[in-house]
Amino acid sequence: MKTLGESLDPRHNSVNAIRLAFAGSILLMHAMALGGYVKEMPKLFFHDTLATYVVAGFFVISGYLITASRVNSKSFGDYLWRRILRLYPGWIASFVLVALILGPLSLILEGRSVRGYDWSSAAGYVYKNLFFVLRQLDITGTIENVPVGRVWNFSAWTLFFEFSLWMCIGLLVLIAPKRLLNLGIVCGLVSFTAIKVYDKVTIDLSSYGTANHGRARGAVDPGLIMSVLEPMARLGAFFFAGAVLYAFRDKIKFSQIAFWICLAFAFAMAIVGWFHVVAALPFAYVVMRLGVSPKLSRVNYPNDYSYGTYIYAFPITQVLAIVNVNHHAPGWLFCLMCVLATAPVAWLSWHYLEKPAMSLKRLTAGRNKAIIGVP
């Protein structure tokens, strides 16, 4: 029986394919809501929307890969430079795309003059969102008559927490003695889980919708600290679960029985509403067990279109939603249109922005060891 470390070939695995599938799933679920076909993203018989489980999967993979990147980086500076190069160009481009192209286009599609476009608000949409925090969600006078109005790219909310967790693992490796690093990673998982347990038995913020720049909506005012700490813990638990799997990759063995037990446990917790509280590690085992398979190794590799798909899909879908207001297409056709419109933008972003930006990593002489899925 092979261990995780033995099973995961850096060049032949399905991790990138899974990430692209996750990004595509988010695109489709958002399309159904933004197109007005459902009032909220589907839950089926689960406690939370399906998108929350997909995002959890994203953070599991990120925890594994980013921990690998940090451990194998020459220094914290080298690691930080690489992470900024991977995330920041696409982040900025997604806001510039809206401000310069999609915003004016939205007015044209509504039969209005571009002369009425609020360029000062468009500029604010870019510079207020520069540092991974969504401080402005809309551009004045745009997308006000679509099913989900005045929100250009709510998908981007997770990137603040993603980058924060990258910094957590980066600093942990920097300050922790090597012999205590694995213990520190386990403590990270335990700490975030403890916060979620506290939240679940008290406020239970995850049961409320989000609006008004991501602040909790409902009868309970959680305060600013918990409004940030709860999603950090919710996502951080899965990130650190992935990090734990990396830390003990040479000891964790994969078996079919363990896979099905972990899947059944995660499934049950998703139904009763405790998935984000106690299912991080079993779910991480399931995701990485699927990732070791080489069957989909050619999908999304060596190119990585998952980030572009995730970051551009929401605003592109909002533009298509304008057209769909007056020409209501069947749901499947609207979703197909969103896929076809997003795919070339993600392709262009990777080949002409993200990949060229990553070539600058040589400015900090980093590690030579291949890390799966981590440019």
Tally of CB atoms within 10 A around 144: 11
The pLDDT assigned to 216 comes to 35
pTM of the model: 0.91
Domain assignment present for residue 370? The answer is no
* Whole-number Å distance between alpha carbons of 353 and 340: 20
> Taking 80 as the threshold, does the pLDDT of residue 189 lie above it?
yes
Q: Which residue has the higher pLDDT, 64 or 298?
A: 64
For the chain, the domain total comes to: 1
**Residue position matching structure tokens 């909310």:** 157
* Whole-number Å distance between alpha carbons of 26 and 296: 20
Query: Which residues share a beta bridge with 216?
Result: 210
> Taking 80 as the threshold, does the pLDDT of residue 206 lie above it?
no
Query: Which residues share a beta bridge with 253?
Result: 3
Q: And the tokens for 365?
A: 């002489």
H or E element that contains 258: helix 256-272
Tens-place pLDDT, residues 81-90: 999 999 999 9
Query: Which residues share a beta bridge with 3?
Result: 253
CB 86 within 8 A of CB 366: no
* Whole-number Å distance between alpha carbons of 8 and 21: 19
CB 38 within 8 A of CB 28: no
Residue 44's pLDDT band, with cuts at 50, 70 and 90, is: confident
Domain assignment present for residue 369? The answer is no
Q: And the tokens for 21?
A: 């599938």
Q: And the tokens for 142?
A: 């745009």
> Taking 80 as the threshold, does the pLDDT of residue 211 lie above it?
no
Domain assignment present for residue 240? The answer is yes
Work out whether strand 215-216 and strand 210-211 pair parallel, antiparallel, or are unpaired.
antiparallel
Q: Which residue blocks in 11-112 are alpha helix, DSSP H?
A: 15-34, 50-71, 76-97, 103-109
State which residues form the domain around 38. 4-363
Question: How many H-runs (helices) and E-runs (strands) does the chain carry?
Answer: 15, 2
Domain assignment present for residue 374? The answer is no
The pLDDT assigned to 121 comes to 97
For residues 182-200, give the mean pLDDT.
94
Q: And the tokens for 75?
A: 């220094």
Query: Which residues share a beta bridge with 210?
Result: 216
Strands, E, within 208-335: which ranges?
210-211, 215-216
Residue 133's Cβ-side half-sphere holds a number of Cα atoms within 13 Å equal to: 6
Q: Which residue has the higher pLDDT, 138 or 203?
A: 138
Domain assignment present for residue 373? The answer is no
Residue 212's pLDDT band, with cuts at 50, 70 and 90, is: very low
- Helix, strand, or coil (residue 336): helix
> Taking 60 as the threshold, does the pLDDT of residue 221 lie above it?
no
Check the CA dihedral 22-67-238-258 and report its sign: positive
Side chain identity at residue 337, one-letter code: M
For residues 49-78, give the mean pLDDT.
94
For residues 286-305, give the mean pLDDT.
89
